[in-house]
């Protein structure tokens, strides 16, 4: 991710909805060095912000509805929550929840793109989003897995104004040509029951070491460590409660 801070249209936050908060806190604290802080207010419902040093990097929360899956979610920054919700509808998406106030922190919206992938939008007030990107243990890339690439490309470029850097193998999203994420078409390698979704990738010092530590802690490997030609080394994991996330180490091209 070339973005170093939240900007309008870019990813600004990621949060985990999990079935076992205490186990998830331990798992990610051990894996990434996170320091979790749970909001003590009853109306916050156990929402927990993970920190690296003084920087907020991600959140963990209980499942608030029976239908809510155990999963990581990705939020994109917007300047006007109501206008963004209308843009989603006009472009063929669906607004599932909100816009709604989250204390004095900001306004929150949950939406679904025309291909079925859920995502979140965040209009900041006192809380802008993650205070650290690209460093080990923090968000470094977001990837959309979809079965309708053409349709959702039109959707996201219309709603957020993203630039598109596409090759035969992969599509990358950007803002002012600063790439922050990508899109992978779901083919026969993906089981029919796997829904379209956004996948966060966290930067790590060493992918293979991280995968080994995660599996020892009860995670399973979805994609074994692999080096992308002229790109990063990546892997995809499923935590002990069933949430899928990626890890990566920058390749030589990105480090130049």
Residue spans of the domains in the chain: they are 11-124, 139-255
CA–CA separation, 256 vs 238, rounded Å? 31
Average pLDDT over residues 35-40: 93
pLDDT of 256 reads 39
Do 21 and 48 meet the contact criterion of CB atoms below 8 Å apart?
A: yes
Average pLDDT over residues 114-135: 97
Kindly report the average pLDDT of the chain as a whole number: 93
Average pLDDT over residues 23-46: 94
**For 11-124, CATH number?**
3.10.180.10
For the cut 80, the answer to whether the pLDDT of residue 192 exceeds it is yes
| Of 105, 182, 190, 171, the residue nearest 142 (C-alpha) | 182
Cβ contacts of 179 within 8 Å, gap of 6 or more: 1, 2, 165, 172, 173
- CATH code matching the domain that covers 139-255, chosen among 3.40.190.10, 3.10.180.10, 3.30.300.30, 3.30.499.10: 3.10.180.10
Up-side HSE of residue 177: CA atoms within 13 Å toward CB? 0
CA–CA separation, 163 vs 153, rounded Å? 10
Task: For residue range 86-102, list pLDDT tens digits in order.
Answer: 999 999 999 999 999 99
Report pTM.
0.94
* 11-124 against 139-255: fold identical: yes
CA–CA separation, 240 vs 58, rounded Å? 18
């Amino acid at each position: 991710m070339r973005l170093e801070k939240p900007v309008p249209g870019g990813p600004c936050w990621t949060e985990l909805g999990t079935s076992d908060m205490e186990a998830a806190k331990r798992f990610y604290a051990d894996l990434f060095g996170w320091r979790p802080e749970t909001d003590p207010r009853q109306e916050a419902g156990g929402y927990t912000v993970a920190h690296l040093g003084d920087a907020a990097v991600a959140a963990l929360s209980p499942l608030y509805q029976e239908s809510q899956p155990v999963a990581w979610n990705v939020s994109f920054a917007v300047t006007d929550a109501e206008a963004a919700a209308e843009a989603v509808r006009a472009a063929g998406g669906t607004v599932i929840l909100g816009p709604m106030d989250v204390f004095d922190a900001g306004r929150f919206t949950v939406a679904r793109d025309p291909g079925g992938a859920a995502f979140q939008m965040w209009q900041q007030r006192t809380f802008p989003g993650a205070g650290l990107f690209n460093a080990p243990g923090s968000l470094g890339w977001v990837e959309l897995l979809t079965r309708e690439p053409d349709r959702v490309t039109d959707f996201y470029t219309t709603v957020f104004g993203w630039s598109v850097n596409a090759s035969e193998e992969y599509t990358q999203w950007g803002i002012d040509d600063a790439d922050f994420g990508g899109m992978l078409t779901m083919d026969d390698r993906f089981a029919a029951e796997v829904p379209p979704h956004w996948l966060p990738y966290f930067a790590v010092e060493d992918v293979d070491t991280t995968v080994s530590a995660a599996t020892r802690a009860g995670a399973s490997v979805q994609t074994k460590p692999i080096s992308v030609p002229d790109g990063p080394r990546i892997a995809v994991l499923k935590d002990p409660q069933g949430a899928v996330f990626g890890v990566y180490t920058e390749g030589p091209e990105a480090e130049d």
